[in-house]
Structure 1
Amino acid sequence: MEKTEKVEELISHEDIKEMRKSSYDCDVCKRSFSRKSNLTVHKYIHRREKLYHCDTCGKSFSQSSHLTKHKRIHSGEKPSRCDVGGKSFTDCSNLTAHKRIYTGEKAYNCDICGKSFSHNSNLSKHIRIHTGEKSCHCDICGKSFSQSSNLSTHIRIHTGEKPYHCGICGKSFSQNSNLTVHTLIHTGEEPYHCDICGKSFSQNSHLTKHKRIHSGEKPSHCDICGKSFTDCSNLNSHKRIHTGEKPYHCDICSKSFSSNSHLTKHVRFHTREKPYHCDICGKSFSQNSNLTVHIRIHTGEKPYHCGSCGKSFSDSSALPRHKCINAGDKPYQCDICGKSFSRNGDLTKHKRSHTGEKPYCDISEKPYHCDICGKSFSDSSGLNKHKRIHTGEKPYQCDFCGKSFSRNSHLTGHKLIHTGGRKKRNFASCMTFSFLLHRHFEKYQMTLGQLKIHPQYLSSLKTERK
């Protein structure tokens, strides 16, 4: 009798347990929980209710355990230690995921493409690529992201926060990855090499993008105009042409830019920072691309060739300009008066005649100074030309005789001697009229008696103008 009662009690307990398993259902996702407390915690995920706040940075969390893990970022506490490599982690779940590096285990599989992951959170992020889900929204501009970490990084664009600082030069960055890349400028390390052309890169992602130049692959397409790009970052920058969005602002002059790289280049005009140095002559540049072009002055490399006339250029931007001159094309048109130009820079200068804009506050201002003699210039190109007087640099060489010049215009004038485009004219061929000769003497305060002039030349002078 006693045994029967115990069995009945057991059955009754199992029934109750089974009942509990199915009695707590989430009305949003229909997920079932055996305990009401678990359902309550789960519902916070849907409601986005974040009751637990960090006293240090103010970040909020839906669960107390998440806040505890987060606080370890500030305290530096890492209680979970790997017994193989000795690396420490803030929680045991990260340690478990880390250990799979040694075992090679990837327990989480994507049902769509079959790709495997060592951590469930990585699988969740990956699945959003297939679903296109972007559940993290920016409260300031409304932009959406698939990961909260990407949203946090994006918000720093609005706040201007740059928590990652370079220990060498003190420069700050909004992302740790950008700081890592920046540090390589100081070390000069470029561990990733292209097996086609031998070019080296500081990041593997840069090498991957570079290889697409050789393969011609452009996997990122603009859904507005159809233009293709080698990577999504260039596509995103391009899309801002259509939207007009310029989220990157200069703290010095408030000018806005569509991409962070353009802002970085612009800021260097204010700071005059030139982190890229030529190993041959020591000259410094604000952009790596300018250094690359400069080095070709020393090497003589001109990899960009015109298919029409065979002329070669060291700078890729010079080739399209040259082709426009050859073809007579003037693709840059003034929207005010309709005048056309072969170069965008010429159009920009022309527009100032309509707007009255002056590139500097005062037309007499000359912000570019020579650090050798102190002479000042209104633009950087004038300073660069001037510096060649000190350095003796003559980057423009004549193809006919090998003579070098400090300016391209001087080379152009010199070449006419070889081509016959302009003959050297002597004094006699210029002064064909007597009034021209007298005017010349008046200009330089000279008399006929001061010069030895052949009588035959004097008799040949014409007295009247044609």
Structure 2
Amino acid sequence: MFTTPLQTPAWSIASSAPPFPPLLIVDPRKNRNKDTSPTEKPCKCGDCGKGFKYPSLLEIHRRSHTGEKPFTCSVCGKGFTQSTTLLRHQRFHTGERPFPCCVCGKGFTQSSELLIHWRVHTGEKPFTCSVCGRGFTQLSQLLTHQRVHTRERPFTCSVCEKRFTNSSNLLTHQRVHTGERPFVCSMCEKGFTTSSNLLTHQRIHTRERPFTCSVCERGFSQRAHLLTHQQVHKYIHRMEEGHSSGSATRANTENNNPQPDLRTASLVAKPASHGLVPSAISNSEAEGFKSLFRLEIHQRSHTGEKPFVCSVCGKGFTKTTYLMLHQRIHTEERPFSCTHCGKRFNSTSSLATHQRIHTGVKPFTCSVCGERFTRSSGLWTHQRIHTEEKPFSCTSCGKSFGQSSTLTAHQRTHTGERPFTCSVCGKKFSQSFDLVRHQRLHTGERPFTCSVCGKGFTRLFTLQSHHRTHTQENPFSCSTCGKSFKQSSNLLTHRRTHSGERPFTCSLCGKAFTRSSSLLRHQQIHNRLQGLDSAFNHSQD
């Protein structure tokens, strides 16, 4: 039987706690058999010997031994030993929350949850840590907190063996290995491992900055950013006080004019820290960063300082995180694994980019032809096809390229270097991806399959070109005549009809061609003629 006060007395949370909780739970069994001793439990369980006051309680208990669950949910089929437990469970399906808080209106499915929530308003924390005296509203929170003192971490990751104090932290951590990001932004489809990270990210779209600095009124999307930002003001204040006290001492010593008001000074002398060169930092410059730490890192872009050096190759970095990522190149550590194909990566960002191959997500779109890419770098490289920008030039022949990697591979045509060798047939290649494609001739692997006709290909580029035969798409257009092509190489060849360029020249007769295939066909004419000449001379002999 539940009783609720008919009238809520007027009281203020700020001034004092309410004289009673909003819901009183009365156990009718307390009024039964008042003469019965509180320690007397005449009904004994024949299996475990546990005693109970009433036969009905013994009957419910015996179901823990027999496994009987006579009360079944009609929605999901889950069974329960008590009707009251079934009633509470059904509220998950109906959404019923019959126990509302009279202060904030929040509803709960159980009265026990309401009583725990009530402590938020009353400030009651009945569970106290015996070590540090910190109080908690729930016993489970106290047990988790005590692991801080005991250093107990009972939940272990099966992949990297990292340990955690509670199961929820372990569950969140495991998403680092699985790549799972269950919380997806509805605006940009970016995924996150926790709901709190998603909530913070969404403020980028809404431009909400709920945390405001009381000094400069700058807003922040996270409370942590506000706290670190406020350290900048504290630092400036300490430096100004230091200047003020120093000026006052000098003024009193020299019996000079009164000290000036340094609060209006625009520059603050910054002492050297973390190896930085001493410099002057203005208030506006300092307030442009969320913390002094970020300001110091930024200054390294001006000073060129790279204090974190790799012990293997000597390469320097401005941040320790960059050094840690770099060191995985030497250790070959790849702690992040793809759940689809098992491929491993040295950073979460590389894993997230890779997974777009499986999901098909291509968030970067070319504004000219509409082609989509999984990486921003791929889009930048592609856009040079339209702009015809080729910023990387060969020092040997002057030929220009849109990518530095293409230039490096091209330079091997001059040096003759072929550093990649096939372990099966010993054939050498100048580029690693040429070796990977070649090895598919031995394995018969065709990992790129057309979703329309099922045809397999050894190269992704070939699949993409093939797919355009189904869609009839011609994304590459000539800026001179408007003719469209399925492949960029065909467009490049076509442009030579307008420019008159013929880069492929026959070494025997000097005739030039727009395509290498045309040159090869032409050279076959010389080969046939040479064969005829040889046969004629032989017949004359």
TM (norm. structure 1) is 0.49
Structure number, greater radius of gyration: 2
Higher RCO (CA 8 Å, separation ≥ 6 residues)? 2
TM (norm. structure 2) is 0.43
